[in-house]
Amino acid sequence: MRTIFPFSIRDLEELNGSIDETLSAEERDLSNYKIAYLPGAYSLGIGLTSRCNLNCPFCYYRERGHNTVSMLPIARLRDILTGLGQLRLISFSLEGEALLYPGLKDALDLASEHAEILQITTNGQLLDDGMADLLCGTPKLRSLILSIDSADPGAYAAMRRGGKLSTLERNIRNFQKRNTHIFTELYAIVTDRNIDTLHTLPEFAASLGIKLISFGKLREHGWSREHQIHGVTDRQMTDEMLRVIAEAQKEQVQVKLAPYFADRTVVEELREKTDPSYGLFIPPDRNFCDMPWSFTAILSDGRLFPCCGDFSPAEIEECSFDGIFNHKYLLLLRKLIKHRAVPEGCLECRNCRVSRSS
Ligand code: SF4
Ligand code: SF4
């Protein structure tokens, strides 16, 4: 479990105070940054548990000396979802391993009542027949994201410590045989440990009938630095991704770059050098991060984790749409981003290229 976050709501409040004198009374008023409840318009990330069966040395939610495990009580989940009304997407994708959550069926049933689509991110080690039955029996679960990082056994073992590539491969193969309504994709975090092996992923994906691989960039923090896991240079990223794309085109597998994937120069070189007939999915350029307008998250200790930044979680005073989606944290983020006062926590964020581009 992670307890140290470099930024907090207080940092946002300080920055907010410093820009107020440049704003009109209307622009200053935080209540003007509220969003209205619209059924089926917003997305929520949920950490069901901080427990995990693996011990990845780059895990964003791990920290030395803090081994406390938290589980989101199902009653708390019910209160939160009831207060939020109807959402577009609920994603069980934060913190620990969702498949380890003891009340997963109840959580999926509850989420199904409150969202159009459900998504789970998993390391796939526990995706046995019983788990596959449960997931396939959840009609609203449409997306299963399988974290893998490398199809090379050595690089996989270094990244997914405690996991076995052969187990993941067997579980995915069995799952795919079910021919379900659930779309599967592989997800890889690019670091200096796996960069040279990424090009093996398309063939691996194709052999399992998986049609999409998404790539995200490492967000360095204390735990990853302690384990000597770092990001890669733009040159390394570009060269290996060109190999990945060439392999993916051969295997008829789609490659998707996360919004926070890389600097714009890297993305532009990839775009220029990729065969235009191949559908490389690159997120559209936006001139600011719009995440606080459409998404927020709850961690397994029941606190609000405003977005994917390095901001410390905050207590939720009221389980309602206003109490969560119009929490002061989100109002401050919206106001600061809207007025181009990009918080330091955003500059560290993997979405930073978006925020800095203004
Ligand atoms: S599988 Fe995910 S949650 Fe678990 S240790 Fe690895 S990165 Fe962290
Ligand atoms: S850029 Fe800022 S607002 Fe956007 S996701 Fe990152 S931390 Fe959140």
For residue 229, the ligand closest to its alpha carbon is 1
Residue 107 Cβ contacting ligand 1 at under 6 Å: no
DSSP class of residue 343 equals -
Sequence-ordered alpha helix ranges (H) in 162-320: 165-177, 201-207, 222-226, 234-251, 264-273, 291-294
Residue 292 Cβ contacting ligand 2 at under 6 Å: yes
**What does each of the 358 residues of the chain score in pLDDT, given as a tens digit?**
888 888 999 999 999 999 999 999 999 999 999 999 999 999 999 999 999 999 999 998 888 877 789 999 999 999 999 999 999 999 999 999 999 999 999 999 999 999 999 999 999 999 999 999 999 999 999 999 999 999 999 999 999 999 999 999 999 999 999 988 999 999 999 999 999 999 999 999 999 999 999 998 888 888 999 999 999 998 999 999 999 999 999 999 999 987 666 677 788 899 899 998 998 888 766 667 889 999 999 999 999 999 877 899 999 999 999 999 999 999 999 999 999 898 888 876 655 554 444 3
Residue 336 Cβ contacting ligand 2 at under 6 Å: no
Ligand 1 atom with the shortest distance to the CA of 61? 8
Residue 56 Cβ contacting ligand 1 at under 6 Å: yes
Ligand 2 atom with the shortest distance to the CA of 352? 1
CA of 227 to the centre of ligand 2 (A): 25
Residue 291 Cβ contacting ligand 2 at under 6 Å: yes
CA of 242 to the centre of ligand 2 (A): 28
Mutate to test the pocket of ligand 1, among 59, 101, 165, 221 (most ligand atoms within 8 A of CB): 59
For residue 58, the ligand closest to its alpha carbon is 1
